[in-house]
Amino acid sequence: MSNNFVDYHCHLDLYPDHAAAIAECEREGIHTLTVTTTPKAWPRNHDLATKTSYVRAALGLHPQLVAERAEELQLWETYLSQARYVGEVGLDAGPRFYRSIELQKQIFGRILILCARAGGKILTVHSVRAATPVLDMIEKHLPPTRGRVVLHWFTGSRAEARRAIDLGCYFSINAEMLRKERHRDLVKSLPLDRILTETDGPFCQHKGRPVRPVDVSVVVDLLAQAMSREPTAVSKAVHSNLRRIESFN
């Protein structure tokens, strides 16, 4: 398998065998960013990832868990100096989580401020039904010179996407986004030099089973179809984007 494949948002610690999931990424040469949903998950993820060539771990505090885990922000702050990557973080204004949106904003704002203060961080950001407030907060707290933002599974409007591009953001695209016409049309409007690929495994399905990083090749094929390009050209562009974002410091 070509090591040009990139899965820039996956939850490897949520598979039945965490170590085996990491080993598969390493064996297949998949550049994988494994996100965490709570800071308590960071030490094991970080430890396993540092022993690999292809897997990197991100320090997260998922907005869907903020209502019950806000007190873990202090632990997140403790670990930040160890982390180059931050995620999954952001806002979720969907019906199930809207009740905690103000608390989410407090937590996300603090995360952005601390990342800007530290500098050199790469964030993978959740923005369900909250693209505008997420972009407002990024613009206010995290200048492009102080960090890089990848908008994970972005489903905002074209205007919001253009604003995100102007703010220096990238987008990580998964197969589910490319199977829905409205979201596919949005993806087609994005510049190829701002696109990365992701699976969001194990939350998405592939052939009746939870998707794995190795399945990111499907995303490349769907992206190529949507953009009327050859898969090899898309894969090459994604890998170039990966090198560019990873070279940021």
3-state secondary structure of 166: helix
pLDDT tier for residue 3 given thresholds of 50, 70 and 90: low
CATH hierarchy code of domain 6-246: 3.20.20.140
> Does pLDDT of 108 surpass 50?
yes
Closest CA to 97 of 136, 67, 61, 72: 67
Q: For position 180, what pLDDT does the model report? A: 86
Mean pLDDT of the chain: 96
Give the Cα separation of 146 and 74 in Å (integer).
22
Average pLDDT of the segment spanning 115-135 = 98
Q: For position 2, what pLDDT does the model report? A: 45
Tens of pLDDT along 45-94? 999 999 999 999 999 999 999 999 999 999 999 999 999 999 999 999 99
More confident residue, 180 or 66: 66
Q: For position 219, what pLDDT does the model report? A: 97
Residues pairing with 57 in the sheet? 34
pLDDT tier for residue 248 given thresholds of 50, 70 and 90: confident
Q: For position 4, what pLDDT does the model report? A: 74
> Does pLDDT of 1 surpass 80?
no
pTM for the full model? 0.97
Q: For position 182, what pLDDT does the model report? A: 86
Give the Cα separation of 222 and 81 in Å (integer).
37
CA torsion sign, 228 to 231 to 237 to 242? Answer: positive
Tens of pLDDT along 215-245? 999 999 999 999 999 999 999 999 999 999 9
Q: For position 68, what pLDDT does the model report? A: 97
> Does pLDDT of 174 surpass 60?
yes
Task: Provide DSSP, 45-88.
Answer: HHHHHTT-SSEEEEE---GGGHHHHGGGHHHHHHHGGG-SEEEE
- Domain extent listing, the chain: 6-246
